[in-house]
Chain A
Amino acid sequence: MDTSADPRWTTCGDIAPVIRYLTRRAATSALGLLGAALLTFAVLRLVPGDPVDGLLGEQATAAQRQDLRRFLGLDQPLHRQVVSYLGRIADGSLGKSYRHRDTTVASRLVAVFPFTLQLAAAAMLIGLIIALPLGILAALRAGTGVDAAATGAALCGVAVDKLWLGPLLILLFYVHLGWLPGPGDDPSAAAALVLPAVTMGAALAAMLSRMTRASLLEVIREEYVVCARAKGLSELAVIGKHALKNALIPVLHVAGLQFGALLSGAMITEKIFARPGVGTLLLDAISERDYPVVQGCVLGIAACYLLVNFATDLLTAAVDPRIRLR
């Protein structure tokens, strides 16, 4: 990309800091990815005791144990294990499932990933829809009853964990009122997303609304906002056109980072609502003792998490020049 023609990049004068920022950020992400790969590899070797015992239980026959040992490559010397493990990541297959040996881990992941992505996106949408108006209102009415009510709501949102909120929502909207689909209904229907998304989005809304409030309160005190007021602009123009533009940058940055967390934390919600997804695949693999699938899911989720964080940082740097100059 020729950035010199783009006025947004050239206003800072020197392009070197931008490149330095991009390089450093890309290097951190690559390091994180490699670290995640090595960690998922090391976990099986780190835990005390023979992993084959843990995975097969005590009643396993010697033949079964030998089979698993060979399948996991545990009979190879360590350096060969690392190389073949990294090879399976590099060719994109993530290895074969132990229980379903004709399928690769990657193909199973790809099959369920859209469900988790939909759920995370819906949860993010609900989080933002609740958080932005609530946070803005609390900041504009800071110190009043409205602000206190918003604070109380946010505290409740943080305290009521999805483990409790999910079952309560099912009970109210599915069992008693019958308004929305619940566990076991067709998961591809849009309505089936509502309850799981609210379950995941509530804590997010609580956090983002607090951030919106704090960020807007800070920006409102800045001179350019005072100046906009002094020019006689309407309150709507001051807040909507001038203050929010800057106030929302940190909020959207955190929202982006939280999107990665939503993708990786979906398993609880998927279990509560019996939805298919990466989390469900992971949990099934754990109960089936299918360790290659567990490894693949963990690595896949970690990779998504890293990529989303990387993309979020780049986008934030693109909208806010102050960040890439740091």
Chain B
Amino acid sequence: MRRPGTIVGVALVALLAAVALLGPLLTPYAPDAQDLDRALFAPSRAHPLGTDENGCDLLSQLAHGLRLDLSLAALVVCVSLLVGLAVGATAGFLGGLVDEALMRLVDVLLSFPGILLNLAILAAVGRPSLGHLVFALCLNGWVGYARVARGQALALREREFVLSARALGIAEMRILLRHVAPNLLGPLLVQASFGFAGVVLIEASLSFLGLGPPHGYTLGALMNQGATHLWLTHRLASVPGAAIAIIVLGFNLLGDALRDRFDPRLAGR
């Protein structure tokens, strides 16, 4: 059964990807091209989303912001997923002391309210670079994936195909890599879709607080800028705000669709 939410989700994610990939190439203005005579212009044919307080084209800024935010989120999600997969699969597959130790580490990281740890790291750095931001987001980003991967690996460990592989004398490492890990990817992809929206939101919050990447445009930084000019127009805040909303909506709907696909028991919840 294909629900309307699925189609909307896939369409929104495709649209976002297209804008992030092609947008910066198609917009005729550089995002930082100032034209003070055109400050705070309403949307027009030349500037479809209008201009900001310095006369910069808002659409160009949005396209660059989307590109930076989405690629940052993609990088963070990929790294977190791989680390989480490695840790979770190892813990669940090996069990025993390894499992106990890794899961206590997960517990400690989970007991730390997410954004606080990121904030503490970025505050300690002083002037965070893009690398610091990715490091901060990944440091506790992998935990959720590890939990899911461990649960799945625990279940898979007793399944017939794993038992028969072991009976055939295949090395444990090979069983883990060739037979267990690929079966973990489905549930992790579901998690990644929801996680993607989460990373975008956290990054926007950090940028809003002034702890985002130092160069380039992010949706959170645009949002911060927009909030300071709220008295003049809500457009500067609403454009990045709506973009964030579309990202969150798109990836949540995609996540729902993936969950229905990989775990039909939960379909329709």
Contact = CB atoms under 8 A, between A and B. Distances in A.
A53 B237 contact: no
Given A171-B230, A298-B119, A164 B112 contact: no
A228 interface: no
B123 A161 contact: no
B204 interface: yes
A164 B208 contact: no
Contact of A51 (B115, B124, B205, B208): B124
A164 B237 contact: yes
Given A161-B241, A171-B230, A214 B269 contact: yes
Interface residues of B, number: 45
A260 interface: yes
B124 A47 contact: yes
25 contacts: A31-B108, A35-B107, A35-B109, A35-B111, A35-B112, A36-B108, A47-B121, A55-B124, A55-B126, A158-B249, A159-B246, A159-B252, A161-B201, A161-B241, A163-B205, A163-B227, A164-B223, A164-B241, A167-B234, A171-B230, A214-B269, A268-B205, A289-B126, A301-B113, A302-B113
Interface string B242-269: 1011101100100000000000000001
Contacts of A57: 126
If over half of B's interface residues share one DSSP class (helix, strand or loop), that class is named, otherwise mixed; here it is helix
Interface string B91-122: 00000000000001001110111011101110
B113 A261 contact: yes
B115 A264 contact: yes
A155 B201 contact: no
A214 B240 CA distance: 32
Contacts of A298: 116-117, 119-120
A324 to B, nearest CB: 19
B123 A39 contact: no
Interface in A3-60: 28-29, 31-33, 35-36, 39-40, 43-44, 46-47, 49, 51, 53-55, 57
A305 interface: yes
B204 A163 contact: yes
Interface of B: 104, 107-109, 111-113, 115-117, 119-121, 123-127, 132, 201, 204-205, 208-211, 220, 223, 226-227, 230-231, 234, 237-238, 240-242, 244-246, 248-249, 252, 269
Nearest to B111: A32
A158 B252 CA distance: 9
B113 A305 contact: yes
Interface in A285-326: 285-287, 289, 291, 294-295, 298, 301-302, 305-306, 309
A160 to B, nearest CB: 5
A137 B58 CA distance: 42
Given A32-B111, A267-B209, A271-B208, 8 more contacts: A31-B107, A35-B107, A43-B124, A161-B248, A163-B205, A171-B230, A291-B123, A301-B116
A54 B126 contact: yes
Contacts of B241: 160-161, 163-164, 167-168
Contact of B231 (A54, A158, A175): A175
